[in-house]
Copies of this chain bind each other. A is one copy, B any other.
Amino acid sequence: MADRPLKELGWKTPLEVARKPSMNQIAKTGICGIMDPISPGIPPGSDTATLTLLGYDALKVYSGRGAFEAIGSSVKVLPGDVAFRCNFATVDENLVVLDRRAGRIANEDASKLAESLQKIKLEKPLDAEFLFKNTIQHRAVLVIRGPKLSTVVSDSDPGKVGEKVLEIKPLDDSRKAKLTAEILNELLQKFHNVLKEHPVNKERVKRGLSPANIILCRGAGTVPNIKSLQEIYGIEGACIAAASLIRGVCKVAGMKLIDVRGATGTPQTDFMAKAKATVQALKTHDLALLHVKATDVASHDGNIKQKIELIERIDCMLRYVLDNIDLGSTYLAVTADHTTSSITRNHEGDPVPIVITGPYIRRDDVEEFNERTCAKGGLNRIRGMDLMPVLMNLIGKTKKFGA
């Protein structure tokens, strides 16, 4: 949701331009500030940002993105498994990437391709097996299971269009890393062989769509060893998110994943269904995390107009939440997990705006919710890791340090 001022918007940010009466109402009744998800200037991933927003020290506990993505897609990841975040992508005959998202391939096509890939057999006698599952659009997860694996391997995803797919390499001298890289290179070659001849892709080309003829892998990760929110604060949390990465982080934090029909993690998600699920979840949980991925998607696409529209839809979603929770006994915080620039189309290290409203809040005089007005608010500048203690303090769930 957060962005930098854009020339196209008269040097305003999408949040500054969007019509957002609900967010402004929350700002008026609450305490505002800006927040560095990790620390000033450090661009967070969606995984590390969500970890910190849940109160974890991501710099200490982060163990790679892959496992979160897999867990959030209902793929079981055991301690020792190495999980990867994958993309269906399009390459030419020289393995140069033409589209990192295979034209944001539809779930239907991706499912059919994934089914075929799961049938592949690993040949080398390495005691390893794999699970491959598509999630939303071009996104997928790959889990390698075996006795001698390591996360210390490079990505095959070059991260950019116009560059060649990379060979996966061990990043230390261990035998485990070497073995893991070998397994992956073999597997990804086989994936490519199957995909490039697959009827679904032949059909896509006929329809003028990019064929999903390769799987790009990145973010080798294992399950992090963290305490749950129950253990830390004695609370029950619920997660209303469609993006598997966010779901994975919440699951590892011990939160209940609420499935919402129509919630897709795309700009076409059913915002109102998510709002309703959140209000419902709050009846039986101490904390509900309502996450919308769509504004980030629009930013990565550099689609400023869509980003503004999505902020306005989020605002409508918040209207339902505002009208259906009791702010005399409930706290509501609105923020972004990171700044995504619609110009660089990347996550950036700029702080995000934050507002908290609810009873006994030291209300400030900020009247609008955006990156600049919030910087004048009573919270001043906090870190992502501070948000959970601040919220838990308000609901009486922090322990006094000292006596």
Contacts and interface: CB of A to CB of B under 8 A. Distances in A.
Interface of A: 4-6, 11, 13, 34, 38-49, 51, 58-59, 62, 64-65, 85, 218-219, 341, 343-344, 346-350, 360-364, 371-372, 375-383, 386, 388-393, 396, 398-403
A218 B59 contact: no
A85 to B, nearest CB: 7
Contacts of A65: 402-403
Contacts of A348: 393
10 contacts: A4-B360, A39-B386, A41-B389, A46-B403, A51-B402, A62-B401, A62-B402, A346-B400, A349-B390, A375-B377
A349 B389 contact: yes
Contacts of A375: 362, 364, 377-380
A106 to B, nearest CB: 24
B341 A390 contact: no
B349 A393 contact: yes
Nearest to A6: B360
Nearest to A383: B40
B380 A380 contact: yes
Contact of A371 (B42, B85, B343, B362): B362
Q: Which of A13, A45, A65, A382 has the most chain B CB atoms inside 10 A of its CB?
A: A382
Question: Which of A383, A392, A393 has the most chain B CB within a 10 Å cutoff?
Answer: A393
A402 B45 contact: yes
B41 A349 contact: no
Nearest to A155: B403
Point out which of A4, A377, A378, A392 has the most chain B C-beta atoms below 10 A from its C-beta.
A378
B361 A392 contact: no
Given A360-B341, A382-B40, A59 B401 contact: yes
A43 B394 CA distance: 11
A400 B347 contact: yes
A191 B175 CA distance: 61
Contacts of A344: 396
B43 A403 contact: no
A311 to B, nearest CB: 17
A362 B390 CA distance: 26
Given A43-B400, A45-B402, A402-B47, A364 B360 contact: no
B386 A45 contact: no
Given A372-B378, A401-B38, A401-B58, A11 B45 contact: no
A275 to B, nearest CB: 27
Contacts of A401: 38, 42-45, 48, 58-59, 62
Nearest to A65: B403
A356 to B, nearest CB: 11
A386 B41 contact: yes
A344 to B, nearest CB: 7
Given A49-B402, A396-B344, A390 B41 contact: yes
Given A343-B360, A349-B389, A381-B381, 6 more contacts: A5-B360, A34-B380, A41-B389, A43-B399, A46-B403, A347-B400
Given A5-B361, A362-B4, A393-B350, A43 B398 contact: yes
Contacts of A379: 375, 381
Contacts of A363: 5, 11, 372
Nearest to A375: B378
